[in-house]
Amino acid sequence: MAIYANIIVDISIEKLDKTFQYLVPEELEGKIAEGMQVCIPFGNREITGYVLELTDRAEYDVTKLKPIAGLVDNSVSIEAQLIALAAWMRRNYGSTMNQALKTVLPVKQKAKQVEQRVIRLAVREDEARRQLALCEEKHQAARARLLRELLEQRQALDYSVVTQKLHVASSVVKGLQERGLVEVEAFTTYRDPVGHLARGEYKLTLNREQQAVVDAVWEDRRNGIYGTYLLKGVTGSGKTEVYMELIARVIEEGKQAIVLIPEIALTYQTVMRFRNRFQDRVSIMNSRLSAGERYDQYLRAKNGDIDIMIGPRSALFTPFANLGLVIIDEEHEASYKSETAPRYHAREVAIERARVNGASVVLGSATPSVESYYQAKLGNYRLLEMRNRVQEKALPNCEVVDLREELRQGNRSILSGRLQELMADRLEKGQQIMLFLNRRGVAGIVSCRSCGNVIKCPHCDISLSQHNNGKLICHYCGYEEPMPRVCPACGSKYISGYRAGTQKVEQMVQACFPKARILRMDYDTTRGKDSYENILQAFGNREADILIGTQMIVKGHDFANVTLMGILAADTSLHVGDYHGAERTFQLLTQAAGRAGRGDCPGEVVIQTYSPEHYAITTAKDQDYEAFYEEEIAYRQMLRYPPVWNMLVVMCTAEDYEVLKRATEYLREQIDTIIRAGAAGSEEKSRADAVGPEQNPTGGVAVIGPADAAISKVNDVYRRVIYMKTSDYPRLIAIKDGIERGISQNPNYRDINIQFDFNPMSGF
């Protein structure tokens, strides 16, 4: 069987679509791999290109294909590594090679680089002194000033300093240059987005728990084990210090490190901690950098000017030639999953990149994702724990308030009696309060304010959402029912969707406490470039008594004077419209609770909820991760959700709904065919899955849908989804491959777009 190689000759982004096919000659079979740089005949020259894909399908007339001439020696260049990673991502997540390459390679910027010029003496010192004397004699003050300064400083002077501070005109510099007395040298520098930040001192000794974690990772490395570690450490246990110690050691080995941090947590304080320890060897990536700045960071990493890159998901593709360590902080964050094709998870890609490079991966969190904890329990990740806060501060005291009870007692305010009481107390004492308005969740969910009941799909246990036509719809299976007038559980008429914005909450709180100074932080108030940090700073300076905000306020900001955290709607995140509801809720509540009592006064947390008995709430109240995990994993097992089972969503979009509907129905048939063909060969396997025939007519893989997506139309493009669930992950990849093979030739799919999402992190 002949093998063909699809090759690109230029990896500047505009040309990615252009690939050329070549024959793989016999002597290269088995040696050639995706990503490698090769020599190829091109016209009547020989040029180099990168292998994007090896395939057994000829795309052109085979007789006209030319063979590859040979491998380029530096085949393990960083580009080769990243292209191979892109190929891996394409295979595992489903996308075009082009999309995968655009994810891993930066957009090449022709933007001009910043140029720096210096002036230095071009003659020996005695000659320079002689010339200086001559200038002084002739009263050539500017020339004399420049020569004197160069003699005194004994080093090159910055051109702009000479012209601006010494007030020497450039014509004067030019004159001296022409007479051969000074020379001007220009070189390009890269923009350093953190260059303006001060560099402080670093001195700190790790405590015993921290040291044990560092030792565990290091011992493995000494034994040649480059593992994946799940560092479960309570907030304030000093995880960042552990990261920095590991990074310092990796750098000592001559290797580099990537630190992934959710963009929202990539604050000035965080960057400063790394700068204090590693000075100029650190850079950052974030969406606020200009394209030119970002490209400069890429080059600095590639040239070896920095050893550490800090940034969100995309920083994972920093072109370090000798990567030794990847840290993923707050590893449970949903932002580590890409929402565009290829829909990769940074954790999985980090592990793959680390595997190829011989790097270790450290996943850190106070509330690990259920997925990672499951992997740790299976022994795939090594679990390392830090149970104590560095400064031995007690965890805050947590109370749960039942909002149904409040309603029964006639309190229809957004603040429960208990919360109001505690707020009054704190205002009196001059202590600060944070109010967290949980807004995560599906907009349309319908719940009962009397009993807390949320209307769910009888087939999927997912909250139904209200549509404009008044119906309630499930977005996993398409089930629908009319909107009820009274609560089906208790008959109350207080049934509705719940929605109160932060602005509304601010008004209500202000009405309750007219003298309190209130700051609000939400999407609206933080749109400006620095407003997010400005609000936090103002609150930190005690310019307000109460900070009201959404998710943003629960992320890792320490305010010593905050002694009360009120969680206004703990429930909404229970109903995020997918199987992550309880997990998100537990994480948010635990994080929010961690915000109170960071200073010397003990903190108090009030959780207001309609479902006080829900395990996500009770375990968060007790700060008991283990108990939460046990409940949650049993639930996932029972309903066949990840991580116990695996899920593939095929999302199809089109402008014409009828075309989309027909295509997705056809796709469903095709999927069934692929599964049947695969099942014939793996009957033993599907029996091992212990799947009852009634739920799983296709054996081993449950297929659900097609149904309209939760957001069924975006910008006039309709969206429909098909879900598949199985315990057998490779099988899902095989199904994806089967679908992909059919897409390009099949006229049924001509007018629709198909995307894949494995183990989705959010609803559709």
Interacting residues with Zn ion (CB under 5 A): 448, 450-451, 453, 457, 459-460, 474, 476-477, 479, 487, 489-490, 492
Q: Residue 751 phi/psi, 5° resolution?
A: -105, 15
Q: Is 390 in the site for ligand ADP (CB under 6 A)?
A: yes
Report, in Å, the least distance between residue 252 CB and Zn ion. 54
Decide which of ligand ADP, Zn ion, none touches 85; Cβ closer than 5 to 8 Å per partner kind: none
Give the residue, chosen from 34, 53, 241, 293, that forms a contact with ligand ADP under the rule CB under 6 A. Answer: 241
Decide which of ligand ADP, Zn ion, none touches 11; Cβ closer than 5 to 8 Å per partner kind: none
Contacts with 618 (C-beta within 8 Å, 6 or more apart), sequence order: 400, 612
In this complex, which beta carbon is closest to Zn ion, that of residue 92 or of residue 447?
447
Rg over alpha carbons for the chain, rounded to the nearest Å, is 31
Decide which of ligand ADP, Zn ion, none touches 171; Cβ closer than 5 to 8 Å per partner kind: none
H helix and E strand count, the chain: 22, 30
Report, in Å, the least distance between residue 18 CB and Zn ion. 45
Q: Which residues pair with 67 in a beta bridge?
A: 23
Q: Please report, for residues 446, 450, 452, the alpha-carbon distance to residue 487 in angstroms, rounded to integers and kept in the order given.
A: 10, 9, 10
Place of tokens 């829909």: 343
Q: Per-residue string for binding with ligand ADP, 350-389, x by CB under 6 A? A: ----------------------------------------
Q: Please report, for residues 417, 426, 431, 597, 631, the alpha-carbon distance to residue 422 in angstroms, rounded to integers and kept in the order given.
A: 9, 6, 11, 14, 32
Select from 739, 734, 737 the least CA-distant residue to 722: 739
In this complex, which beta carbon is closest to ligand ADP, that of residue 103 or of residue 240?
240
Decide which of Zn ion, ligand ADP, none touches 476; Cβ closer than 5 to 8 Å per partner kind: Zn ion
Q: Per-residue string for binding with ligand ADP, 184-223, x by CB under 6 A? A: --------------------xxxx--x-------------
Query: What token pair was written down for 40?
Result: 């190829």
How many whole angstroms separate alpha carbon 246 and alpha carbon 329? 14
∠ CA(376), CA(381), CA(386), 5° rounding?
70
Q: Is the dihedral of CA 501, 507, 511, 513 positive or negative?
A: positive
Query: What token pair was written down for 214?
Result: 């560092």
Decide which of Zn ion, ligand ADP, none touches 489; Cβ closer than 5 to 8 Å per partner kind: Zn ion
∠ CA(271), CA(273), CA(276), 5° rounding?
105
Decide which of Zn ion, ligand ADP, none touches 372; Cβ closer than 5 to 8 Å per partner kind: none
Report, in Å, the least distance between residue 243 CB and ligand ADP. 8
First to last CA, the chain: 42
Using a 10 angstrom Cβ sphere, with 0-12 exposed, 13-18 middle and 19 or more buried, the burial of residue 261 is: buried
Report, in Å, the least distance between residue 484 CB and Zn ion. 10
Q: Per-residue string for binding with ligand ADP, 257-296, x by CB under 6 A? A: ----------------------------------------
Q: Is 233 in the site for ligand ADP (CB under 6 A)?
A: yes
∠ CA(406), CA(410), CA(411), 5° rounding?
55
Report, in Å, the least distance between residue 643 CB and Zn ion. 21
Report, in Å, the least distance between residue 255 CB and ligand ADP. 22
Give the residue, chosen from 6, 92, 235, 623, that forms a contact with ligand ADP under the rule CB under 6 A. Answer: 235
Select from 44, 45, 60 the least CA-distant residue to 6: 60
Q: Residue 513 phi/psi, 5° resolution?
A: -125, 80
Decide which of Zn ion, ligand ADP, none touches 569; Cβ closer than 5 to 8 Å per partner kind: none
The residue count of the chain comes to 764
How many whole angstroms separate alpha carbon 245 and alpha carbon 241? 6
Q: Is 330 in the site for ligand ADP (CB under 6 A)?
A: no
In this complex, which beta carbon is closest to ligand ADP, that of residue 234 or of residue 702?
234
In this complex, which beta carbon is closest to ligand ADP, that of residue 329 or of residue 632?
329
Q: Is 236 in the site for ligand ADP (CB under 6 A)?
A: yes
Decide which of Zn ion, ligand ADP, none touches 310; Cβ closer than 5 to 8 Å per partner kind: none
Decide which of ligand ADP, Zn ion, none touches 140; Cβ closer than 5 to 8 Å per partner kind: none
In this complex, which beta carbon is closest to ligand ADP, that of residue 241 or of residue 578?
241
Stretches 229-237, 313-321, 435-443, 696-704: which one binds ligand ADP (CB under 6 A)?
229-237
How many whole angstroms separate alpha carbon 290 and alpha carbon 645? 41
Q: Please report, for residues 274, 476, 641, 738, 763, the alpha-carbon distance to residue 759 in angstroms, rounded to integers and kept in the order given.
A: 33, 14, 9, 18, 11
Report, in Å, the least distance between residue 441 CB and Zn ion. 17
In this complex, which beta carbon is closest to ligand ADP, that of residue 194 or of residue 206?
206
Contact 609, 571 (CB under 8 A): yes
Decide which of Zn ion, ligand ADP, none touches 235; Cβ closer than 5 to 8 Å per partner kind: ligand ADP
Report, in Å, the least distance between residue 372 CB and ligand ADP. 16
Q: Is 238 in the site for ligand ADP (CB under 6 A)?
A: yes
The SS3 of residue 322 is coil
Stretches 239-247, 369-377, 522-530, 644-652: which one binds ligand ADP (CB under 6 A)?
239-247
Q: Is the dihedral of CA 725, 730, 733, 737 positive or negative?
A: negative
Report, in Å, the least distance between residue 68 CB and ligand ADP. 49
Q: Residue 315 phi/psi, 5° resolution?
A: -65, -15
How many whole angstroms separate alpha carbon 270 and alpha carbon 262? 11
Q: Is 239 in the site for ligand ADP (CB under 6 A)?
A: yes
Select from 166, 52, 89 the least CA-distant residue to 353: 89
Q: How many CB atoms lie within 10 A of CB 70?
A: 14
Decide which of Zn ion, ligand ADP, none touches 487; Cβ closer than 5 to 8 Å per partner kind: Zn ion
How many whole angstroms separate alpha carbon 248 and alpha carbon 274? 11
Decide which of Zn ion, ligand ADP, none touches 578; Cβ closer than 5 to 8 Å per partner kind: none
In this complex, which beta carbon is closest to ligand ADP, that of residue 265 or of residue 489?
265
Decide which of ligand ADP, Zn ion, none touches 459; Cβ closer than 5 to 8 Å per partner kind: Zn ion
Select from 287, 267, 310, 289 the least CA-distant residue to 190: 289
Decide which of Zn ion, ligand ADP, none touches 457; Cβ closer than 5 to 8 Å per partner kind: Zn ion
Q: Residue numbers of the site for ligand ADP (CB under 6 A)?
A: 204-207, 210, 233, 235-241, 390
